[in-house]
Each structure stands twice: as structure tokens, then as C-alpha cells.
Amino acid sequence: MHSKTFFIKTFGCQMNLRDSEIMAQLLGEKGYVETSDSETADLIILNTCSIRAKAEQKVMSLLGVLRKQKKRNPNLKICVAGCVAQQEGQQIIERMPHVDLVVGTQNIYELAELLKEKKQQTVATSLVDNYSIPAFIPDLGKQESEVGPVVFKKFLTIMQGCNNYCTYCVVPYTRGREISRQASHILQEARALVDGGVKEITLLGQNVNSYGKTNNVIEGNGSFSFSDLLRQVASIPGLRQLRFTTSNPKDLSDDLMRCFAEVDILCPHFHLPVQSGSNRILSLMNRKYSRELYLEKVAALRSYCPEIAITTDMIVGFPGETNEDFEETMALLEEVYYHGSYSFKYSDRPGTRSSAFEDKVEESVKAERLLRFQTRQDEICLEHNKKYVGQELPMMIEKNDGDAIVARTGTNHLVHITGEVNSCKPGDIATARILHAGHHSLQGVLKK
Ligand code: SAH
Ligand code: SF4
Ligand code: F3S
């Protein structure tokens, strides 16, 4: 009998990427085989994102295409997982009757059991407050053989959900209340990754700095913070690089910033989403920090680690954003001089507080502001990149196809390297001399 095959398409953030890996492993344990050919798969899983309207539209249009595939192959099972699944639940099946299974963000561990259900369609989207994330030991062996190249870097989810309720954001509704995983589970998972050959781990959470604040993460009553966790993960022998994402500026502790001076393997890159440069808009967004406090944190980070690259997320055209507010965003970009940023047009999301705010900004104005922000950010990226020319920098090799190597610096810059490339494999740390800077990458030559 042929093994059933599955195909997963992942949208959205790293949390979803990690959840897709977990689903793949759980299915593998039940005898399913992952395939990269969606046309012949017996099961297609869409792991979805609903952060902006566009992300959700992509899912809906792909589901439209899959309707035809299911007509050709009535045995095909279609599963919708992730944040759209959590938010829309039953409505997905009402709009898209060819969907077999809707799996919420806390239900992925039940996936294999849910697939066995004889019912025609199943919706499993329970979201509870006192949920404890199961211990989960990654099986790199299986993932490696199916997905291909050596696995040298991995994401590790340390917490789920969010309690911040920024007024524009769906995450507290799609991922539920903030829950931190047990420290022992995280350390066990990290050790298993390193034993399996992983050289770089990125710790994941919507707001890692509040790790351990809403529930007990160690045995007994002691307190254990994100920086405690970070230091313990960093001390695992064999791990070469450590990163984390994301951190709300309001909770960024001095202790965490100090880690950039004290923890050797912590990469000098900090993604610190600001969202707006205007205090009035920050307050409407319920971000709970001011521009001034944000700038203080940036200055402190740079004093602990002068070479640190700071990146951000920015929203333009939040309801009520005036030209003056937007100018403050542009001024903040100049002041921080970000190494990079993700910037978005504000998008109304169902159930969020800001979707009911007045003074929505016109699409054309949002588009103009976004273009202006991104154009200036691109110039600034080039300015930063030019400073690396002539320097010799350590970097982790990500890909080596025999002719050219792609590597990534600790500051998260991509480098295309030439030279004696034969000896390098993904996960190695090499040094290259930077010869040329572009807007989005660097070129270098390997140092012997
Ligand atoms: N937890 C992270 C953010 C996760 S969402 C944090 O607080 O930093 C990733 C980014 O999507 C956000 O930082 C924000 O810039 C953007 N985003 C979220 N909701 C949005 C919306 N309704 N419209 C436009 N951008 C949005
Ligand atoms: Fe969304 Fe704010 Fe939570 Fe980030 S901190 S996930 S933007 S509610
Ligand atoms: Fe999207 Fe959900 Fe991540 S909305 S950004 S997939 S937490």
C-alpha cells in the first residue's frame, strides 16, 4: 500500500513555520510522507496568516484553486490551519465546502487524530487560557531526508499568544492568551537540536521579553526571566549562534540588553518593532511606550553592543495619522537610522479595536507614505552596507552550491562570497572580506 503523502504551504511568521515543522513531524510519525508536489499529494495543509487583509486574501484565492484539484481527485483532503483557521473556524467550511479540516493554533498536536475522523468535515479551534504547550522533541533525521539540505539553523517556539492587545492586531485573538513554555522543555528541545547538528537557534515568541511572567516556567516558585533562559540556552555546548524575535520595546529589560555585551554567541541584531514615530499614534495603538523611551532603549542597546544592527516594523496610515504624525515616523527613521525594516500599510482586521476607529486614511495616502518610507529606508540600508566594505567579518555559511556561497553575518546581512569555496558547508563560520555593498546584500571574498 502506498504511504499517504502531504504537502504543507506556510504563510505568515516564523511561528507558523515552526508549527508547520511540528505538523510535518507528527504526520511523519503516523506514516505520512512529505512531498513537494502539491498536485499529487493526498493531503494539503495551508498554514495561514491573518495579520493583514492581503495575507488572508492569498489563502482564500489558493483555496479557490484547490477546489478544482479536489474535483479531479475527490480523495484529496484539504486542511486549513493557523491564524485564519483560528479566526474564521466554521465560516471557512461554509464559504469553502471543499475544505475537510480546520485546525486552530492550539490544536495542531491533535492533527493526526483529527484526520482519522469519519465525519465529513471537522472544525477544531478550541482556544483556552490555561493551555500548556506539550514538550516536543524535534526529529531532525526525518526532516532532513525529506526537505533536503543539512539543517543547520532552527526556530524554537518558547511562548504562545499575546496579552498586549495593540489596537490594530489580530494575534491576541488568533493565538490566545500569552503562555510560556516550561524552561525544561525548551532546554530539552534546544539540546536535541544541537545534538542533531543545529548550529543556530532562534527563540520565538510574540513578545519574548515577557517570558515567564504570566505562568510558572520552572519547578517550585522561583522566578525565571527571558534573559535567564537565553543564558542557559547559550551555554549548550556545540551551539554557535543564538537569536530571538520579537520583543515589545515597553518590556525590554536592561538585563536582556546586557546579554548583548555578555553572551558570546548572541548575534548582534535586534529586531525592535516601533510601529510609529508619533506619540499620539503610539498611544492610539496601545503600544504603552513613547518615542522617547524607545530612543532610550536604542541608545542603551548601542552602548552595550556598538556594532548591533537594529531593525524594526512600521505601520503607515494608522487611523487618524496626519501628515505631521507621518513626518515624525520619517524623523524617527533618520534618528535611529535602522539597518532594515518591514513596513506595512495599516489594514483593518475584524475584531480589532482600531477597525472601529474613525478617520481612516485613504489608500492612496497610505501608498504614498509607504513608498516614501521604503525609499528612504533603502538608501539608509545602502549607507550602512557601504560601511562594511573593506572589513573582515565572521559569518555563518547558509548555502554552498560549489560555485558561490551565501552566508549571513551576525548582524543579519546576506553576503555572496567567492574564493576557495570547496571547504565550506552550511553551518560553518567563516571570515570574508567585504568587497562590495548593494542595497540588500553584500559581496565578499573568503579569507584563507
Ligand atoms: N509581536 C510582534 C508583531 C507581530 S505581527 C511585535 O509586537 O513586535 C508583525 C507585524 O505586522 C507588526 O509588527 C506590525 O508592524 C504588522 N501588523 C500587525 N497588524 C497589522 C495591521 N492590522 N495592519 C498593518 N500591519 C500590521
Ligand atoms: Fe500584536 Fe501587539 Fe501582541 Fe505584537 S505585541 S502580537 S503587535 S498585539
Ligand atoms: Fe500571521 Fe498569525 Fe504569525 S496572524 S504573523 S501567522 S501569529
The three cell numbers of residue 410 are 551576525
Which one is predicted more confidently, 384 or 136? 384
Q: Is 166 in the pocket of ligand 2 (CB under 6 A)?
A: yes
Return d(Cα 66, Cα 183) in angstroms, integer.
41
Nearest CA among 201, 231, 109, 236 for reference residue 160: 109
Is 357 within 8 Å of 167 (Cβ atoms)? yes
Are 27 and 111 found together in one domain? Answer: yes
pLDDT in tens, 265-292: 999 999 999 999 999 999 999 999 999 9
Average pLDDT for 226-231:
97
Identify whether 246 is preceded by a cis peptide bond (ω within 30 of 0).
Answer: yes
Are 158 and 213 found together in one domain? Answer: yes
Ligand 1 atom with least separation from CA of 271: 8
Domain annotation covers residue 382: yes
Return d(Cα 287, Cα 65) in angstroms, integer.
39
Domain annotation covers residue 322: yes
Nearest CA among 213, 318, 338 for reference residue 271: 338
Are 375 and 399 found together in one domain? Answer: no
Ligand 2 atom with least separation from CA of 286: 2
Q: Say whether 305 counts as a known binding-site residue.
A: no
Q: Give residue 150's pLDDT.
A: 64
Tell me: pLDDT of 146 over 60: no
Q: Say whether 49 counts as a known binding-site residue.
A: yes
pLDDT in tens, 159-168: 999 999 999 9
Return d(Cα 21, Cα 143) in angstroms, integer.
8
3 state SS of 44 = strand
Report the range out of 125-134, 217-226, 354-363 with the highest average pLDDT: 354-363
Ligand 1 atom with least separation from CA of 343: 15
Tell me: pLDDT of 144 over 80: no
Nearest residue CA, atom 12 of ligand 1? 313
The three cell numbers of residue 202 are 532562534
Nearest CA among 232, 290, 315 for reference residue 266: 232
Q: Is 15 in the pocket of ligand 1 (CB under 6 A)?
A: no
pTM higher than 0.85 for the full model? yes
Whole-number Å distance, alpha carbon 193 to ligand 1 midpoint, is: 29
Least confident of 107-116, 274-283, 376-385: 107-116
Are 398 and 366 found together in one domain? Answer: no
Are 173 and 255 found together in one domain? Answer: yes
3 state SS of 335 = helix
Domains: count for the chain:
3
pLDDT in tens, 403-443: 778 999 999 999 999 877 677 888 999 999 999 999 999 99
Are 156 and 269 found together in one domain? Answer: yes
Q: Is 311 in the pocket of ligand 1 (CB under 6 A)?
A: no
Are 61 and 163 found together in one domain? Answer: no
Are 95 and 184 found together in one domain? Answer: no
Are 159 and 71 found together in one domain? Answer: no
The three cell numbers of residue 56 are 488572508
Q: Give residue 138's pLDDT.
A: 82
Domain range spanning residue 94? 5-124
Least confident of 113-117, 132-136, 388-392: 132-136
Q: Is 169 in the pocket of ligand 2 (CB under 6 A)?
A: yes
- The CATH number of whichever domain residue 69 belongs to comes to 3.40.50.12160
pLDDT in tens, 168-193: 999 999 999 999 999 999 999 999 99
pLDDT in tens, 49-101: 999 999 899 999 999 999 999 999 999 999 999 999 999 999 999 999 999 99
- The CATH number of whichever domain residue 299 belongs to comes to 3.80.30.20
DSSP per residue over 147-185, as a string?
H-S---EEEEE-EE------TT--HHHHT-S-EEPPHHH
Nearest ligand by distance to the CA of 160: 3
**Side-chain half-sphere exposure of 118, counting CA atoms within 13 A:** 0
- The CATH number of whichever domain residue 411 belongs to comes to 2.40.50.140
Q: What average pLDDT is seen over the chain? A: 93
Nearest residue CA, atom 7 of ligand 3? 171
Q: Say whether 169 counts as a known binding-site residue.
A: yes
- Residue ranges lining ligand 3, Cβ < 6 Å: 12-13, 15-16, 49-51, 82-83, 170-171, 174-175
Return d(Cα 215, Cα 443) in angstroms, integer.
46
Residue 21's CB: how many other CB atoms inside 10 A? 21
Cα–Cα distances (Å) from 228 to 208, 222, 261, 267, in that order, read 12, 12, 15, 17
Helices (H), 305-402: 323-336, 363-387
Are 379 and 398 found together in one domain? Answer: no
Q: Say whether 381 counts as a known binding-site residue.
A: no
3 state SS of 161 = coil
Tell me: pLDDT of 448 over 80: no
CA dihedral sign of residues 414, 191, 177, 254? negative
**Kind of pairing between the strands at 429-437 and 392-400:** antiparallel
Domain annotation covers residue 130: no
Average pLDDT for 241-248:
95
Is 272 within 8 Å of 247 (Cβ atoms)? yes
Domain annotation covers residue 135: no
Return d(Cα 204, Cα 242) in angstroms, integer.
11
Cα–Cα distances (Å) from 442 to 57, 372, 406, in that order, read 34, 24, 10
Domain annotation covers residue 136: no
pLDDT confidence tier of residue 1, bands split at 50, 70 and 90: low
Which one is predicted more confidently, 119 or 90? 90
Domain annotation covers residue 324: yes
Are 324 and 418 found together in one domain? Answer: no
Average pLDDT for 236-254:
95
Domain annotation covers residue 137: no
DSSP per residue over 413-425, as a string?
-EEEEESS-TT--
DSSP per residue over 76-135, as a string?
-EEEEEHHHHHHHTHHHHHH-TT--EEE-TT-GGGHHHHHH--SS-EEE----TT--PPP
Task: Identify the H or E element spanning 8.
Answer: strand 5-10
pLDDT confidence tier of residue 151, bands split at 50, 70 and 90: confident
**Residue 123 corresponds to which amino acid?**
V
Question: Which residues are within 8 A (CB) of 64 and not within 5 positions of it... i.e. 6 or more apart?
Answer: 96
Nearest CA among 281, 25, 335, 301 for reference residue 151: 25
Are 369 and 405 found together in one domain? Answer: no
Domain annotation covers residue 138: no
Is 357 within 8 Å of 330 (Cβ atoms)? no
Q: Give residue 141's pLDDT.
A: 63
Tell me the percentage of the chain whose pLDDT exceeds 90: 85
Centroid of chain to Cα 363: 27
Is 330 within 8 Å of 276 (Cβ atoms)? no
Tell me: pLDDT of 148 over 50: no
Task: Identify the H or E element spanning 342.
Answer: strand 340-345
Task: Identify the H or E element spanning 444.
Answer: strand 442-446
Ligand 2 atom with least separation from CA of 287: 2
